[in-house]
Amino acid sequence: MYFIANWKMFGVLNSLNSIHKVVKFLKNFKKNNSLKIIYCPPNTLIRPMTKKLKDTYIDVGAQNCHEHDKFGAFTGSVNSIMLKNVGAKYVIIGHSENRQAGESDKLINLKIKSAIKSGLKVIFCIGETLQQKRKKITKQVLNKQIGFGLNKIKIKNNIILAYEPVWSIGTGVIPKKNELFETINFIKKKINKCKVLYGGSVNPKNINDLKSIVNIDGYLIGGASQDPKKFIDIIKKTYS
Ligand code: 13P
């Protein structure tokens, strides 16, 4: 099971003290080979976090990258080579917060290609808005996001898919169990080589419900991942 912490635009150097608790917990946690933890902090914390997590099983990833896989005159941007260089092994691409800010499927496709070329693994996010859900076009939306996003990309173990319904992010609302099972199943049938995670308001209170959905391969966690106690609780409850 994957537990991916997306810190979004939260965190300064002091925030790194909190991950010590997670490292300590993992040392005493009965080792489970399927457990995979990845922290995706803001770019400013990737290097110091990688150093802090040296000699642990926790990996570090970034939250986005520029689509160019060479250096260039793109003020304020960071590409996948730079992220790899400071210790990132993963990068989140296609998060709805960036799609809403104007990131297109075509751009997402270029970003994924550049990340793979640089040797990063991609956490590729897809999900429908509330309006699209109400119109009952979730499957068409996901189909399009997957089709364009992964166009001409050879899928091996280089892509992890994260289904994050936009209406569930930061709202405390999660999909109904049967609906979520069905959507994950739909995604898995479309790209059978990928692990498929769920993201959107995952917390210690709803993890028991979520873990009963048997086709989910892990979670992409926003708010709750910044609190080590909640993050640990989610992991513990998943395996209990
Ligand atoms: P929350 O867990 O805060 O709803 O955020 C989910 C998310 O966007 C993870 O990428």
Domain range list for the chain:
2-239
Structure tokens at 207: 């993890």
Which residue CA neighbors atom 1 of ligand 1 most closely? 222
7, 39, 169, 227: residue to mutate for ligand 1 pocket, most atoms within 8 A of CB: 169
pLDDT tens track, the chain, 240 positions: 999 999 999 999 999 999 999 999 998 887 667 899 999 999 999 999 999 999 999 999 999 999 999 999 999 999 999 999 999 999 999 999 999 999 999 999 999 999 999 999 999 999 999 999 999 999 999 999 999 999 999 988 899 999 999 999 999 999 999 999 999 999 999 998 899 999 999 999 999 999 999 999 999 999 999 999 999 999 999 999
Could you confirm whether 20 is annotated as catalytic? no
Helix axes 19-28, 228-239, angle to 10 degrees: 30
Nearest residue CA, atom 5 of ligand 1?
A: 222
- The answer, as to whether pTM is greater than 0.75, is yes
Q: Please return the burial class of 89, using the count of CB atoms within 10 Å of its CB with bins 0-12, 13-18 and 19+.
A: middle
CATH classification (class only), 2-239:
alpha beta
CA distances, 23 to each of 33, 56, 127 (Å): 16, 7, 31
179 is annotated as an active-site residue: no
What are 197's strand-pairing partners?
Answer: 162
Is 164's C-beta closer than 6 angstroms to any atom of ligand 1?
Answer: yes
